[in-house]
Structures are given as C-alpha cells and as structure tokens.
Amino acid sequence: MKVAVVKETYPGEQRVAMVPAIIPALTKNGFEVLVERDAGIAAGVTNEQYEEKGATLVDSRDEAFKQGDIVLQVRSCGMDPDCDDSSRVRPEQIIVAMCDPLGQAIGVRDFAETKATLFALEMIPRITRAQSMDVLSSMATVAGYRAVLLAASELPKMFPLMMTAAGTLAPARAFVIGAGVAGLQAIATAKRLGAVVQAYDVRPAVREQVESLGGKFVELELDAGKSEDKGGYAKEMDEAFYEKQRALMAEIVAESDVVITTAAIPGRQSPLLITADAVAGMQPGSVIVDLAAERGGNCELSEPDQTVVKHGVTIIGPTNLPSEIPYHASQMYAKNIANFLQNMLDEENEGCVKINLEDEIVCGTLAARDGEVTCNRIRGILDMPLIETPETQEEPAPK
C-alpha cells in the first residue's frame, strides 16, 4: 500500500503528519511512502530529507490523493474551512488524521458521503496498549510546555528566586488548573523555570503526580464524584459544582502571578472556571493562559487566538500551540501515526493494513466507512439512530 503525506492547508498550521526519521519504520513493513513536495517546510523539514529516508516526492496534492491508498494528515474532515478534499478522496481510500469528530461532527457526516474510511485520532482509547498512539497526549505535552513560555514572556517578573547584589527577587507564583497531560507539563516547566507552583484538579488521585513534579496540590472542598468517563477523558459536571468551584478558586487565582487553565471536555463547551470578577481580583501585570479558549475558554474574558488586557491582566487564548513548535510536535505526531498503522498491519499481506473491528483501538477510532458514520458518539451528536453492533457499543455524547 502507498502511504501519502500531504501538506497542511489550515491557516497557521505548521505541523506535518510524517517526518523523515519515521519513514524507515514504514518502509520496513512494506509501505511505500509518498510526500507532497514542500509538505514539511513549515516544520523545518526539507524535501531532500524525505528523499534521503526513502520517500518519493509528488508534485501536487491531487497527485498525492490519486496515488495514496492511505492519506496521512494533521487536520482533516471539516477542521479546515478553506480546503475541501472530498473531490480528491476515493471510496477505497483510508484517511488517518485529527478531525475534531465530537466538535465537528457535521464534517464527519459530510466525509462519510465519499464512502472512504476515516480514522479520527482524537478518539484513541485511553488504554495502556494505545499510549504510544495517543496524539492528544503528545500534543498536550507540547501545549503545556509552550503555555508556560508564553506566560513567562508576558509577565513583568522573572520566574525564579534570585539573590543578587541589588537585593532578593521573590519567585513568581504559578497556578495550573487541570493536571492532565498539558497541566502536568505546565507544572514541570514552570517549576524548572523557578516558579512556586500550585495545581488543582477535580481528580484527587493526581495529587501524587503533581507533587512528584514539585507542585503543591490544592484541595477544594468539593465532591467531584465521577469526573472521568470510561474512556479516561474529562466528564462534564453540573453547574452547581462549577459555581462553587469558581468561588473557592478565586482566592487562589487572586494571589497568583500566572494562571494556566487546561480544563477541556471533548466536543463540549469548556467549563467556566475564572470569572471576570476573579480576574479583577488579580494583581496588575498578572497573566492567564487559557488552553481551553477554542471552546469558549475556562476564563470568562479570554478570546480565541487573541491576547487581551482586562483589569490590568494579560489574558492569552491560544488554540493551536503545538503548531508553534512544529518540529518536535510533528515528530511526536508522526511516531503516533506510525504506531497506529503498525497496529493494523495485515500479517498475511506485507505492506497492507487490516481493519479489525475486534481491536479496541481500530474500532474506537473508526469514524466513517462505506458511506456511514460508524461511531455512536458522533451519531448521537448528529441525531442519527445508534448502530446496535458489538463493535460500536459506546455511550452517545450528551447534548
């Protein structure tokens, strides 16, 4: 089978779905790798580097789709409003990409009409065997790191404690809300820069992880109940919970120089955690980096892809931080995809994949096939009748 890598067209997207270093792992398994010319330039990868590792360059997107049996992308299917690949996709083709299936369910429905097969990498199940394929965790690692650097560049203070001839400089105080992958990386990065770090998560079980990175775990008197779904992702709580949470959290926010929020729920509006009043209670010059800005934000005053100053506080609302470090983000993403493809290798046919619906990873990420939306979570969002099969017994996403 031929694996085609195409250039990303989403505005500001600098990542590429495959990097040269990973290509030998694919060719060793019998795949032929095609790369659209200049696909990796924005990520710091040249055409020559692809060729040196065994890839064949093709001159256009049309040619990549025409030849590729499997097409690899970073963003596909409704995520890019300026690019419509539906005319390029063939019914027998397999697309492997991120496509925001729960937030852009209509895009999945439209893709299904091509009768091609779509694997949505955001739906990789949170199981041990799939950790090496988990693109959300990989990209969250990059986002958490980058968020701290953004905050440090905006804060009118230095992060570390410094004892100088001119006097002692107190360390910055950082508060990280959410101790998932992005939050833990933010904690580690802020701590390495010398800040005093506090962190909060609705899951008390993450206390040990926070403390192992040098952060102080903040406890709020709240009954979190079941804060995770069966897939290991954050679960939406009721408004009464969030209202009490906001009130308790405002005190910690007020004493922090930097606040980084990471609380996101797949396919849903981000929970409001920092109100306008809480922002007004912060010291002028403080910084908030809202990693949930794409879906409304954890901060009431954040704006997607904008940096605003309210009540003297700088509020940053990035929506695609991994693209700002495209070299390593692409490296991690490519490794995730290679592992995903290797998991589907057909043992009887070298260089081919087999869609085994009894495999939890394959079944969990399959979004569309043979003209149908195959995932019940997506079908629930689209008000489509659920498919009653053993392979797709999933809870529909709440509305």
Q: What positions carry a catalytic annotation?
A: 126, 131, 134, 137, 233
- Which residues, 6 or more positions from 280, have their beta carbon under 8 angstroms from its beta carbon? 311
d(CA 349, CA 351): 6
Spatial contact of 353 and 345, defined as CB atoms under 8 Å apart? yes
For helices 181-192 and 135-154, angle between their N-to-C axes, nearest 10 degrees: 40
Nearest to residue 215, comparing CAs of 192, 201, 189, 196? 196
- Distance from the Cα of residue 204 to its chain's centroid: 23
What secondary structure does DSSP assign to 274-308, as a single string? B-HHHHHTSPTT-EEEETTGGGT-SBTT--TT-EE
For tokens 């439209």, name the residue: 110
Nearest to residue 269, comparing CAs of 246, 244, 237? 237
Max Cα-Cα span within the chain: 72
232 CB neighbour count, 10 Å cutoff: 11
- Which residues, 6 or more positions from 317, have their beta carbon under 8 angstroms from its beta carbon? 290, 293, 297, 299, 302, 303, 304, 305, 306, 307, 308
Burial state string for 300-310 with b = 16 or more CB within 10 A and e = fewer than 16: bbbeeeeeeeb
151 φ/ψ angles, rounded to the nearest 5 degrees: -65, -45
| 3-class SS of residue 375 | coil
d(CA 187, CA 117): 39
Q: Which two tokens stand for residue 58?
A: 């093709």
* Strand arrangement of the beta sheet that strand 307-310 belongs to: 216-217, 196-200, 173-177, 258-261, 287-290, 313-316, 307-310
